[in-house]
Structure 1
Amino acid sequence: MNKLHVAVLMGGWSNERPVSLMSGNGVADALEARGHTVTRIDMGRDVAQVLAATAPDVVFNALHGTPGEDGTVQGMMDLMGLAYTHSGLAASVIAIDKALTKQALVPHGIPMPGGRVVPVAEIFERDPLPRPYVLKPVNEGSSVGVAIVTDHGNTGNPVSCDAVGPWQQFDHLLAEPFIRGRELTTAVLGDRALLVTELRPKSGFYDFDAKYTEGMTDHICPAEIPDDVTEACRDIALRAHRLLGCRGTSRSDFRWDDERGIDGLFLLEVNTQPGMTPLSLVPEQARALGMDYGELVEILIRDALAQKEVR
């Protein structure tokens, strides 16, 4: 691959800033090790001016959360005529919004949990669904602000406004039925579904800390699950990637109720900006298939340059 000037866009001001910085610095290190010139940009409000002054050949978008994953930064870079990694504006707008994702995918036969977006004020008056159920922000990633409401929780009945939870941070939340069982995830790279990883948190559920604290979650890759479930995960992940118009790489997260067999598999969300930290799942699956981290990063760079030619 020809040596390039790559701007690695990271940081920002979302709740996922620390993860983005880890992802971005890992990517930058890998690119520099392969001889590319790298400019590391911790995104501020002047990001357009900084990118214009940097004039890179391509931007590696290592941002997580808003505004780097929701179409805002993508639209800006489209207007600037920049090549950039990962999904474009439309796919980013839809995938960051869990309710919009359901509207886009469920009519095409993608199995996803039911549920609805509810005002927080309603949650304080009555349970929106029978317990147990899950409450989560509509447009956050990395399990930020996810709460499982059970009969035995300390949230009250109905949920108490004094209890710690996402209802203290957001005006609206997505309420979904709680699906018992196992956490599975599948990465897509280009137009290929990779492997299925099972995630086994050592305590609680697969929340932000379990995702990014070493030793808190066991990763079984490839997952030790029936072949039909493996193939279903890979098929659904690839179909969702295509239906949403994702580019580069994405990661689809599932819950699988193993007591129900294949009928117990549900897609929870599609991540258009999967993490690239040492504990992240896309690099892990690529590594299991014989692809090292630097090679993965360069594949995403090549895809970004090819996509610019198409545009």
Structure 2
Amino acid sequence: MTRDLHVAVLAGGLSHERDVSLRSGRRVADALRSSGCEVTVLDADAHLLPTLAAQRPDVVWPVLHGAIGEDGALRDVLELLGLTYVGARPGACRLAWDKPIAQSIVAAAGISVPPSIALPHATFRDLGAQPVLAAAADWAGFPLVVKPSRGGSALGVAVVGEPRDLARAVVDSFAYGDTALVQQHVPGVEVAVSVVEIDGEVQVLPAVEIVADGGSYDYAARYTAGTTEFFAPARLSVDDAERLAGTARGAHEALGLRHLSRIDFIVTDSGDPVFLEANAAPGMTETSLLPQAAEAAGLELDSVYRSIVESALRS
């Protein structure tokens, strides 16, 4: 395609990840402009739908994190307006957004997941917090991981090493959703694998290995330059890297994702990938993992992002 494309980049919103979304949106918009696209950056507010209806962009790219960008609802509305957009369809977004559901789907596809249990807030109210926490701790052992069942950017996520810290971790998780996911801690190498459509073909980019200075890849470690060390490509053997890439593609396809995604794993000492979660709207900031993976593959971001837009037009 040689003509100028008008792309509306959606960034901002009112989720806990608004600042990350704004930074991601600016980076995507800059790259698309460098590729020759006409770009409008729009916030997700009461003016959005009238503006989109008036402008009728060729493609809408939702670079929105949190529920508004990842739970499928906005994409339902874009389809009501008859607009072409980048990213997964609404149903696939809903599956990936809910971590327990996503884990069940990929497990059914033969991919390893951490043993986990989802505990709604109502369970603690009805059965009593202390008995439920004691049962969860006895089952999972320590350390264990507590996270909101929905959400991103590691908000509300904690690695709990001592029984006395478990209640606080669950309470903190409830600040970001009404269900806490408690899962057994899987030791190994933390990696992220990005999947993108380039020239109409699904490509798995090199895995990025994550080594957080404080030992936990939390919100600050993700978005504060210099607090985390990244290795792109990840320091894996050729066989382990190939196995990981195939597993990431399998998870992407099992969840019905399209155009782009980021799949997070732990690679165990034996080289086995263990699925953690999938991101239908991955971060695109200067410290985010998909841009690092593209650069590790020797790709220019402007051409990658333009190709993703063109893939949306072909969908």
TM-score in terms of structure 2 length: 0.90
Amino acid at match of 1:146: V
Amino acid at match of 2:259: G
1:52 match: 53
What is the aligned counterpart of 1:240 among 239, 251, 264? 251
1:262 match: 271
Report the secondary structure of 2:50's partner residue.
helix
Q: Does 1:222 align with 2:223?
A: no
Q: Whole-Å Cα distance in 2 between the matches of residues 40 and 22 of structure 1?
A: 11
Q: What are the equivalent positions in structure 2 for 1:130-149 lying under 5 Å apart?
A: 130-149=141-160
Q: Cα distance, 1:293 vs. partner?
A: 1.4
Q: Which is worse superposed, 242-251 or 127-136? A: 127-136
Q: Does 1:278 align with 2:289?
A: no
Amino acid at match of 1:105: V
Q: Does 1:251 align with 2:262?
A: yes
Counterpart contact for 1:96–1:140, Cα < 8 Å: yes
Q: Cα distance, 1:279 vs. partner?
A: 1.3
Q: Cα distance, 1:61 vs. partner?
A: 1.3
Point out where structure 2 has 5 or more consecutive residues left out of the alignment: none
Q: Which is worse superposed, 192-201 or 38-47? A: 38-47
Amino acid at match of 2:93: S
Q: Does 1:196 align with 2:207?
A: yes
Counterpart contact for 1:3–1:36, Cα < 8 Å: yes
Q: What are the equivalent positions in structure 2 for 1:1-311 lying under 5 Å apart?
A: 1-120=2-121, 121=124, 123-125=129-131, 126-127=133-134, 128=136, 129-151=140-162, 155=165, 159-160=167-168, 165-190=172-197, 191-258=202-269, 261-263=270-272, 265-307=273-315
Q: Cα distance, 1:124 vs. partner?
A: 4.3
When the two chains are superposed, the root-mean-square deviation of aligned CA atoms in Å is 1.8
Amino acid at match of 1:269: E
Count of aligned positions: 300
The structure in which a higher percent of residues are helix is 2
Q: Structure 1 residues 35 and 228 mapped into 2: Cα distance closer, same or farther (>3 Å)?
A: closer
Q: Cα distance, 1:169 vs. partner?
A: 4.6
Q: Structure 1 residues 169 and 222 mapped into 2: Cα distance closer, same or farther (>3 Å)?
A: closer
Q: Which is worse superposed, 119-128 or 93-102? A: 119-128
Q: Whole-Å Cα distance in 1 between the matches of residues 168 and 27 of structure 2?
A: 41
Counterpart contact for 2:194–2:261, Cα < 8 Å: yes
Q: Structure 1 residues 201 and 160 mapped into 2: Cα distance closer, same or farther (>3 Å)?
A: closer
Q: Whole-Å Cα distance in 1 between the matches of residues 130 and 36 of structure 2?
A: 56
Q: Whole-Å Cα distance in 1 between the matches of residues 178 and 82 of structure 2?
A: 36
Q: Cα distance, 1:173 vs. partner?
A: 0.5
Report the secondary structure of 1:235's partner residue.
helix
Q: Whole-Å Cα distance in 2 between the matches of residues 35 and 227 of structure 1?
A: 37
Q: Whole-Å Cα distance in 2 between the matches of residues 147 and 224 of structure 1?
A: 25
Amino acid at match of 1:118: L
Report the secondary structure of 1:165's partner residue.
helix
Amino acid at match of 2:255: L
Q: Whole-Å Cα distance in 2 between the matches of residues 138 and 78 of structure 1?
A: 26
Q: Which is worse superposed, 39-48 or 276-285? A: 39-48
Counterpart contact for 1:124–1:160, Cα < 8 Å: no
TM-score in terms of structure 1 length: 0.91
Q: Structure 1 residues 228 and 123 mapped into 2: Cα distance closer, same or farther (>3 Å)?
A: farther
Amino acid at match of 1:228: D
Counterpart contact for 1:10–1:21, Cα < 8 Å: yes
Q: Whole-Å Cα distance in 2 between the matches of residues 284 and 100 of structure 1?
A: 28
Q: Whole-Å Cα distance in 2 between the matches of residues 169 and 111 of structure 1?
A: 26
Point out where structure 1 has 5 or more consecutive residues left out of the alignment: none
Q: Structure 1 residues 168 and 41 mapped into 2: Cα distance closer, same or farther (>3 Å)?
A: closer
